[in-house]
Amino acid sequence: MKKLSVCLLAAVLIASGCASRQSGGGKGESASSDLLKPLDPPAKVRVGMKGVPSDAGVIIGLYKGYFKELGLDVEVFSFNSGQEMINPLAGGHLDVGMAVTDAAMFNAFLRQIPVKIVADKGYNIPGRAYYQLVIRKDLENQIKDYKDLKGRTLAVVATASLDEICLDRALKAGGFSTISPEVKITVIKSFPDMLAALANKSIDGAMLIEPWIAQGEKMGVLKRFRDPSEFDRDAQIAIVIYGDGILKRPEVAKRFMVGYLKALRDYNDAFVKNKGTEQVIDILASKSLTKDKEMYRLMNPAGLNPNGYVNVKGLEADVKWYEERGLLKGDLKVEEVVDNQFVDSAIQAIGKYQ
């Protein structure tokens, strides 16, 4: 893993309201809660992330000093995938992972590796998906419905992963799947390369994420396909994972969640309530690789639950998909790998988002 300075993190985006997300217990308490008192001396927290839009909670927390004021010294490391984070998380070399699920990750849970899913890191807002299937702009009159995906070449960044799951659910709405002969699935390991493949017409569509969707629309090379809320409403796109190194330090783990939720609430204020939006855009444009402020206005926001909880129903559906494909080496119970205690504690300290 390679250290990445905050100013080089890529493509930070936005959050939104989350009334439909999984909720848990926790009543608001006074702001004088012991959990809001900074640790002394400060505690090191090593965070792994890719710099994609749904990593916004970490970056805004760093920029605004939310972690620092809680006595946390957060250090960010760059990874290409959540799968790469599992061993460092299990070995105590990484404390927090910002990831999407895949078969390898769920199999790691089955091996009793000491990691837990602790919070939401991204979901699709109905009608405003930040991660979805897109098609080439020149095919928009030919691919209008799910059945029109038959015979097409479609790209994902990885198979046996959330990327394939989301594409598979779109295809099933048309009567086939990612393992059907009716479509060709190709792996393109980076989103910018997917844009290039759409531009040179070597693929017909791709599972793409913001800001590359907005960039592709601006370039005139793609069109968003049907909204995922039609066929994948409960999808839990990305998650926050705690590793052994922070699970053994509960007071550190709880404080990190406080800083994380405070940052997510700034996003919801800015992009759902239109409060302080320009200030947040200025922060994002100055502290990420996406420097074009207009791009933030064009992008669909990443749904980020300001109350933190993951959608357990969505995770259960993902586990079932992996099981049906024979990709899991055992019987995985989602309730055994999701740990809400840290979000519960954070909400007790700062209250529920209104």
**What CATH number is given to the structural domain containing 169?**
3.40.190.10
> Which of 145, 138, 135 has the alpha carbon at shortest distance from 204?
135
Helices (H), the chain: 56-63, 86-90, 103-110, 162-172, 191-199, 212-219, 244-247, 250-271, 277-287, 293-298, 312-324, 341-350
Question: What DSSP character marks residue 302?
Answer: P
Cα 338–chain centre separation: 16
> Which of 10, 255, 241, 20 has the alpha carbon at shortest distance from 123?
20
pLDDT in tens, 118-148: 999 999 999 999 999 999 999 999 999 999 9
Enumerate residues 6+ apart whose C-beta is below 8 A from 193.
none
| pLDDT confidence bin for 188, thresholds 50/70/90 | very high
Bridge partner residues of 209 (DSSP): 131
Residue for token pair 């299990």: 90
Has residue 17 got a pLDDT over 50? no
Residue pair 63/287 in contact by the 8 Å Cβ criterion: yes
Has residue 27 got a pLDDT over 80? no
Has residue 33 got a pLDDT over 80? no
DSSP three-state, residue 61: helix
- In terms of domains, do 11 and 98 share one? yes
- In terms of domains, do 100 and 136 share one? no
- In terms of domains, do 149 and 256 share one? no
Bridge partner residues of 96 (DSSP): 47, 242
CA dist., res. 304 & res. 18, Å (int): 7
- In terms of domains, do 139 and 116 share one? no
- In terms of domains, do 96 and 35 share one? yes
pLDDT in tens, 238-296: 999 999 999 999 999 999 999 999 999 998 998 889 999 888 888 777 767 677 888 88
- In terms of domains, do 137 and 94 share one? no
Mean pLDDT of 297-311: 94
> Which of 157, 155, 151, 263 has the alpha carbon at shortest distance from 200?
155
CA atoms within 13 A of residue 175's CA, in its CB half-sphere: 6
Beta-sheet pairing, 222-224 with 131-136? antiparallel
- In terms of domains, do 26 and 100 share one? yes
pLDDT in tens, 59-84: 899 999 999 999 999 999 998 888 89
- In terms of domains, do 170 and 72 share one? no
pTM for the full predicted model = 0.88
- In terms of domains, do 12 and 117 share one? yes
Domain count, the chain: 2
CA dist., res. 5 & res. 43, Å (int): 19
Higher per-residue pLDDT: 345 or 19: 345
The reported pLDDT for the residue numbered 289 is 67
Residue for token pair 């997300």: 21
Higher per-residue pLDDT: 353 or 11: 353
- In terms of domains, do 202 and 345 share one? no
Question: For the chain, give me the number of helices (H) and strands (E)?
Answer: 12, 11
Question: What DSSP character marks residue 177?
Answer: -
Domain that holds residue 240: 2-124+235-350
Number of neighbouring beta carbons within 10 Å of residue 192? 10
The reported pLDDT for the residue numbered 14 is 34
- In terms of domains, do 197 and 331 share one? no
State yes or no: cis peptide before 42, omega within 30 of 0: no
As a whole-number percent, the residues of the chain with pLDDT over 90 amount to 75
> Which of 211, 212, 189 has the alpha carbon at shortest distance from 199?
212
